[in-house]
Structure 1
Amino acid sequence: MKELDDYILQFGNLNDQQLAFIKKKAIAIDLQKDDYFSEAGKIPMQVGFIVEGVIRGCYYNNKGEEITRCFIAENSFVVDYVNLEANTSSSEYLQAATACKLLVFSKQDWEELAQTIIGWDVIRSKIFQNCLYLKSRKGPVISQDATTRYLEFMTNYPSLINRVPLAYIASYLGVTQQSLSRIRKNIR
């Protein structure tokens, strides 16, 4: 899997044998749209690399409304890092926004890589920093008007506009689907 190799190698140098060992630990899985990679109330036990598809991070607010916090697309790792490391229950969901293909590492195998590959801890740390960045980046600024938020979404996530359900985009932007439809109609 060249994409996985390329992603890992941007954070450090590994030889072909080390890369082969990493890939040997990964299990290919498919998630159908709306399947969960990680669920609130459960301790995360895996790290995934998205080969194809989009995962969204979401939670329920105190009114019971579903809020989309982020989108993570191909050639990125996806993990609830804080809770994986702390061995604590997650408060968020990582859900397939589209059908997805992932390479998945169990927590045990992920940790075994650190014990086997010299320098893996540094690479792993950089991967997790990037995961945290992807989960927090480019969020809409609620003080902006909805049209501005949507235009920024189009700039930040151009490949997602026609791939993920409008309900998820509306939730991410903090607007109703009807408002999002009006905004989209007015922009065209």
Structure 2
Amino acid sequence: MEELVQYILKFGDLSKQQLELIVSKGEELKIRKDSYFSEAGKIPKQVGFIVEGVIRGGYYNNKGEEITRCFIMENSLVCDYVNFEASTSSSEYLQAATDCSLIVFSKKNWEELSHIISGWDNIKNKMVQLCMYQKSRKGPVISQDATTRYLEFLENYPSVINRVPLSYIASYLGVTQQSLSRIRRNIR
């Protein structure tokens, strides 16, 4: 829970009692690799803070191919926030790319904090903006060659490369696994 407290304090000041209240509203959740935090076609029910692990955001394109849009790592919020707030079905999913440990807040508990803690909305809005930026960040520019896209991936996600299946990385880069293997061989 200490990681969550440190994360929140980056966005504003709160008293010890306020922080204790926030922590009391969160629940620890472990999700196994390949399990979903949030599924397409369902209404997102929670906001999470990743303590350990990597979650990938993705969707299926009109050809039925699975596309990885982003990777979300430790010390980050994770949520399909627009659909969470509106209580509408999501068109994307958030899936554990590794075993994950999170602190989650139900919609009820997340909203209660706004009614109890003055200044929480301002802090929450800053956290949510960063979360949405990380999640909506588009994949690499497809007009770049695949090697350039891979090198940018390494720069943006240095700790992900050895933690998630190469198929997810290939999907993110818009290349086949064979092409990704060739690129990796040529860079070494």
Q: Give the TM bin, normalised by the shorter chain.
A: over 0.9
CA-atom RMSD in angstroms: 0.8
* Matches for 1:120-135 after TM superposition, within 5 Å: 120-135=120-135
* 2:47 partner amino acid: V
* Aligned positions, number: 188
Give % identity.
74
Deviation at residue 43 of structure 1 after TM alignment: 0.6
Q: What corresponds to 1:181 in structure 2?
A: 181
Separation of aligned partners in 1, 2:151 and 2:138: 12
* 2:98 partner amino acid: T
Runs of at least 4 residues off by over 4 Å: none
3-state SS in 2 of match to 1:13: coil
3-state SS in 1 of match to 2:13: coil
* 1:51 partner amino acid: V
Q: What corresponds to 1:139 in structure 2?
A: 139
TM-score (norm 2): 0.98
Deviation at residue 116 of structure 1 after TM alignment: 0.6
3-state SS in 2 of match to 1:102: strand
Deviation at residue 78 of structure 1 after TM alignment: 0.1
Q: What corresponds to 1:49 in structure 2?
A: 49
Matched, 1:84 2:84: yes
* Matches for 1:1-188 after TM superposition, within 5 Å: 1-137=1-137, 139-188=139-188
* 2:111 partner amino acid: E
3-state SS in 2 of match to 1:105: strand
What are structure 1's unaligned runs of at least 5 residues?
none
Bigger mean CA offset, 135-144 vs 3-12: 135-144
* 1:141 partner amino acid: V
